[in-house]
C-alpha cells in the first residue's frame, strides 16, 4: 500500500527536502500551500509533475493554518497516514514585529491542525516542528529534558505547540511527536536567516556586486546542521513503535563570527573588511547559546549528522556563487533585502 503524507509548510526549506525524501521513499505527498499573488513554489517546482499525469505523486492544496475548517476538509479528503506540521512564521526577529500573527500561525495553528485530525476522524501519525528556540535562556547543552525558557514571541508560540502536541498524545492516544530541531541550513535557506544572509553576501562581494554586509550580534552561538539530513530524522520519528520527542542537532556550537570567518575565507575574502554593525538586527531579547545533545536520536533512531558547520558554510557559499552566476539581473543584493527585511 502506498503511504500518503500531508506536509504543511511544503514550500519552505524543510518542506522541500522532506517532500523530496518522501517521494524517494515511494510516498504520495500532499502539500498545503498558501495562495499568493505571485507563485511561492520555487523550492518544490523541480518535484512537480502535472496532476493529469498518472505518475503524479505530489499534490498541492490551497489552505492556511489560520483556517481550521479548511484543515478539516483537507484531512478528510486526503486521508493521510502521516502529517508533518512544518508551517510557521519561522523568523525570530520578525516575531517581535508580528507577535500576534506569530502566535496565531506558529502556536494556535498547531491546535487547529490537531483538532482537524480529531474532527475528521483521520488516524494519522503527527510530527510537530519544535525548536531549540524553546530552550532560549537555559544554557547548553540542551536535551529532551532541559527546561524551556523562550526569549521571543516565536519561541513562546512554539512552546505552546510543543505542549499541545504532547497533550493530544496523552489525552487522545494520538501518535504525535515533537522533533526539537536545532538550527539547520542549506542553499535553500530563507535569505534573511543569518547563514544564508552571509553566504549570499559572500557571493555578491566576490562578484563585485556588493561591498558591505550589515549584521547584528556576532557573538551568538548556534549548532548549525545540514537541513537535508534533518528531514530523515523527522521521518524516522514517525516510524518507531512508540511516540516520543527527540532532539536533532550536531552537538557542536559555533559563533556567528566563526561562520563569517569560514564563509569569507572560502571565497578568499576577509570578513572584517566588509561586515558592519547595524542595531536593527539585534533582538529585544537574544538567545545567547544553543548547542544540542542528540544522543537520544542517535541511540533510538540511529540518526546522526555527517555535515559539520564549516563544511555546511562552504557548501552554501559554493551554491550561492553558482546561483548568482545564473541569476543575472534577477539577483537581489542582501543590502537591498536588508533595508526592509530582517
Residues that bind ligand NDP (CB under 6 A): 8-9, 11-15, 32, 34, 40, 64-66, 86-90, 105, 129, 131, 181, 183-184, 190
Nearer to ligand NDP, 98 or 265 (CB): 98
Q: Any idea which residue has 557548501 for its cell?
A: 315
Under DSSP, the state recorded for 328 is G
Q: For residues 158 and 87, is the Cβ–Cβ distance under 8 A?
A: no
d(CA 208, CA 1): 54
Residue with the shortest CB distance to ligand NDP: 12
Which of ligand GDR, ligand NDP, none does residue 8 bind (CB under 5 to 8 Å by kind)?
ligand NDP
Which of ligand NDP, ligand GDR, none does residue 105 bind (CB under 5 to 8 Å by kind)?
ligand NDP
d(CA 10, CA 30): 9
- Rg, C-alpha atoms of the chain: 20
Applying CB under 6 A, the residues found at the interface with ligand GDR are: 90, 92-93, 131-133, 182-183, 192-194, 197, 215-217, 220, 222, 256, 281, 283, 286-287
The secondary structure of 174-221, three-state, reads CCEEEEEECCEECCCCCCCCHHHHHHHHHHHHHCCCCCCEEECCCCCE
d(CA 154, CA 136): 11
Catalytic residue among 17, 27, 127, 154: 154
Catalytic residue among 20, 82, 133, 185: 133
CB of 72 to ligand GDR, least distance (A): 27
Residue 95 burial (C-beta neighbours within 10 Å; 0-12, 13-18, 19+): buried
The yes-or-no answer on residue 133 being catalytic is yes
CB of 194 to ligand GDR, least distance (A): 3
Which of ligand NDP, ligand GDR, none does residue 65 bind (CB under 5 to 8 Å by kind)?
ligand NDP
Q: How many CB atoms lie within 10 A of CB 26?
A: 9
Which of ligand NDP, ligand GDR, none does residue 11 bind (CB under 5 to 8 Å by kind)?
ligand NDP
Nearer to ligand GDR, 93 or 169 (CB): 93
Q: List C-alpha distances in Å: 336 to 192, 209, 236, 260.
A: 11, 12, 40, 20
CB of 4 to ligand NDP, least distance (A): 19
| Residue from 126, 246, 131, 128 nearest 176 by CA | 126
Nearer to ligand GDR, 29 or 181 (CB): 181
Catalytic residue among 105, 131, 199, 309: 131
Which of ligand GDR, ligand NDP, none does residue 216 bind (CB under 5 to 8 Å by kind)?
ligand GDR
Which of ligand NDP, ligand GDR, none does residue 245 bind (CB under 5 to 8 Å by kind)?
none
Nearer to ligand GDR, 192 or 261 (CB): 192
The helices-and-strands tally (H runs, E runs) of the chain is: 12, 13
DSSP helix/strand/coil, 306:
coil
CB of 223 to ligand GDR, least distance (A): 9
| Active site residues per annotation | 131, 133, 154
Amino acid at each position: 500500500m502506498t503511504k500518503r503524507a500531508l506536509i504543511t509548510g511544503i514550500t519552505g526549506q524543510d518542506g522541500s527536502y522532506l517532500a523530496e525524501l518522501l517521494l524517494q521513499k515511494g510516498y504520495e505527498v500532499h502539500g498545503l500551500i498558501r495562495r499568493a499573488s505571485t507563485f511561492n513554489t520555487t523550492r518544490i517546482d523541480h518535484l512537480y509533475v502535472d496532476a493529469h499525469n498518472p505518475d503524479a505523486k505530489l499534490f498541492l492544496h490551497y489552505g492556511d493554518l489560520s483556517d481550521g475548517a479548511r484543515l478539516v476538509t483537507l484531512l478528510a479528503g486526503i486521508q493521510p497516514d502521516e502529517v508533518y506540521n512544518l508551517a510557521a512564521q519561522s523568523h525570530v526577529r520578525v516575531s517581535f514585529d508580528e507577535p500576534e500573527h506569530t502566535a496565531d500561525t506558529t502556536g494556535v495553528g498547531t491546535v487547529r491542525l490537531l483538532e482537524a485530525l480529531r474532527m475528521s476522524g483521520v488516524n494519522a501519525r503527527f510530527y510537530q516542528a519544535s525548536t531549540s528556540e524553546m530552550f532560549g535562556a537555559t544554557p547548553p547543552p540542551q536535551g529532551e529534558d532541559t527546561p524551556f525558557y523562550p526569549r521571543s514571541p516565536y519561541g513562546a508560540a512554539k512552546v505552546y505547540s510543543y505542549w499541545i502536541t504532547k497533550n493530544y498524545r496523552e489525552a487522545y492516544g494520538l501518535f504525535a511527536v515533537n522533533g526539537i530541531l536545532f538550527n539547520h541550513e542549506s542553499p535553500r535557506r530563507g535569505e534573511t536567516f543569518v547563514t544564508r544572509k552571509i553566504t549570499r553576501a559572500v557571493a555578491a562581494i566576490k562578484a563585485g556586486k556588493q561591498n558591505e554586509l550589515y549584521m547584528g550580534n556576532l557573538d551568538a552561538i548556534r549548532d548549525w546542521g545540514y537541513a537535508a539530513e534533518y528531514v530523515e530524522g523527522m521521518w524516522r520519528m514517525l516510524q518507531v513503535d512508540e511516540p516520543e520527542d527527540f532532539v536533532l542537532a550536531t552537538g557542536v556550537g559555533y559563533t556567528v563570527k566563526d561562520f563569517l570567518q569560514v564563509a569569507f575565507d572560502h571565497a578568499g575574502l576577509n570578513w572584517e573588511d566588509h561586515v558592519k554593525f547595524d542595531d536593527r538586527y539585534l533582538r529585544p531579547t537574544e538567545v545567547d547559546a544553543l548547542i544540542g545533545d542528540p544522543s537520544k536520536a542517535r541511540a533510538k533512531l540511529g540518526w546522526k549528522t555527517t555535515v559539520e558547520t564549516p563544511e555546511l558554510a562552504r557548501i552554501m557559499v559554493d551554491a550561492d556563487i553558482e546561483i548568482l552566476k545564473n541569476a543575472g539581473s534577477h539577483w537581489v543584493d542582501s543590502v537591498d533585502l536588508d533595508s526592509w527585511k530582517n
